[in-house]
A and B are shown apart, each in its own frame.
Chain A
Amino acid sequence: MKELSRAQIRDLMAQVLKNQGKVLPADDAADLREVGFRSLDFSELALRVEDETGEELNFDAPGLRRIATVGDVLDFLVELQRQ
C-alpha cells in the first residue's frame, strides 16, 4: 500500500489551510486553534490523504481529542496509515 510521508502530509495540510486564506506555520508545535485548523479541516486533510493512497482512513472521534498541535495532526495521520 502506498503511504504518504510526514512531509507530504504537511504539504497537503498547507494546501487545506491555503484554500481558506490561512498559513501553515513551520513550527510543528504551533497550536491548531491559533492556526485556525478545525475538526472539519482535519476531515478534509484525511480525505486528501485517502485520495493519494487509495486507502480509506476511518477513526473514532475520541482519538482527535488529544490533537492540539500541527505535529499532532501529522503524527496521527502517519500512524493511521500504518494501522
Chain B
Amino acid sequence: MSDLATSALSVPPSSVVLVSGGSRGLGLAIVTDLLESGVKVAAFARTVTSELAKLAEAQPDRCHVGSVDVTDLAAAQAFVRAAEERLGPIDGLVNNAAVGQDSLHVHTATGDIARIIETNLTAPLQLTRLIVRRMLGQGLRGRIVNITSICAQRGFPGLVAYSATKGGMDAATRSLARELGGRVLVNAVAPGFFASEMSAVLGQTQLDQIVRRTPTGHLTEPEEVVPVVRMLLREQTNINGQVIVVDGAASI
C-alpha cells in the first residue's frame, strides 16, 4: 500500500483536549488557558488539586477532571471514555504528566530509573496509542503536543534518566508525525528550566548560572510556554514533527 499519505486536507483546531498531569504547574496553566480559549478540556493527574477541581466545578459541561495515575492504562482508558461521554470525542492530546529527578545517576535506585521511564516515556506512548486509535477509528483528525524539556537536547547533572525519557519523546514526536501522515499533527514543546524546578542537584548556583547565560535574562515561566502549546493545538500552521524550545535562547 502507498505510504504517501499526505493529504491536502488540513487538520482543524482541537476542540476537546486531554491534558495529562493537569493539576499543577505547567499542566494546570495549560488547562486554564485552554478553557479560557473556549476549548473543552479533560484533565487528569494522580491527585486532583483544589485548583483543578475548582475549574471543573465552575464549568462542568466544558471541563472533566479525575484522579488517574498515567501509568495505569486501564484507569486512563476509563477516564477517556467518561470524558468523551461528557465532552465529545477527544481530538487533542497534551502529554504533560511526568516525574522529575534529583539524583546523580550512580546514586539513583534502579527501581527509580524504571519508574521514571515508565511514567515519562512508556505511559505517554501508551496514552498516545489509545487516543490515536480512537481518533482514527472515528475518522477524526487531531493534534498532539508532547511536553518535553531542554534536557532532551542539552546535558544537566542529576537528570540522566529524566533526560533519556524526554529525548525519547522528542524522537517519538518525529516518527509519529511521519506515521500519522498529516491526519494528526504531532509536535513537542521543550521548556527551559522553570524557577520552581530548583532542586538539590540543580541548585540556586546552577540556576543563577543558567540565567546569566540566557539572553532574555530570566528562567522560563509556565505562562511563556502556554501560548506555544495553544498555538500548536489551535492555529493553522503546518508545523509538524517539530520540537519547539522555549528557553530564552539559554541553550543556543
Given A19-B139, A40-B180, A40-B183, A47:B2 Cβ within 8 A: no
Which residues 25-42 of B have a CB within 8 angstroms of A?
none
Given A44-B136, A44-B137, A48-B137, A39:B180 Cβ within 8 A: no
A37 touches B137 (CB 8 A): no
Task: Please report whether the interface of chain B is mostly helix, strand, loop or mixed according to DSSP.
Answer: loop
Interface size class of A (residues with CB under 8 A): 20 to 34
* A residues less than 8 Å from B183 (CB atoms): 40
User: What is A's interface to B at a CB cutoff of 8 Å?
Assistant: 16, 19-20, 32-33, 37-40, 42-44, 47-48, 50-51, 64-65, 67-68
A37 to B181, CA, bound (A): 13
30 contacts between A and B (CB under 8 A): A19-B139, A20-B9, A32-B1, A32-B2, A33-B2, A37-B1, A38-B1, A38-B2, A38-B4, A38-B181, A39-B1, A39-B3, A39-B5, A39-B181, A40-B136, A40-B180, A40-B181, A42-B1, A43-B136, A44-B136, A44-B137, A47-B133, A47-B136, A47-B137, A48-B137, A50-B137, A51-B137, A64-B1, A65-B1, A67-B1
Task: Please report whether the interface of chain A is mostly helix, strand, loop or mixed according to DSSP.
Answer: helix
Most chain A CB within 10 A, of B1, B4, B9, B180, is at B1
A57 to B98, CA, bound (A): 30
* B residues less than 8 Å from A67 (CB atoms): 1
* B residues less than 8 Å from A16 (CB atoms): 139
Min distance, Cβ B5 to any Cβ of chain A, angstroms: 5
Given contacts A38-B181, A40-B181, A64-B1, 7 further A-B contacts (CB under 8 A): A38-B3, A39-B3, A39-B5, A40-B136, A44-B137, A65-B1, A68-B1
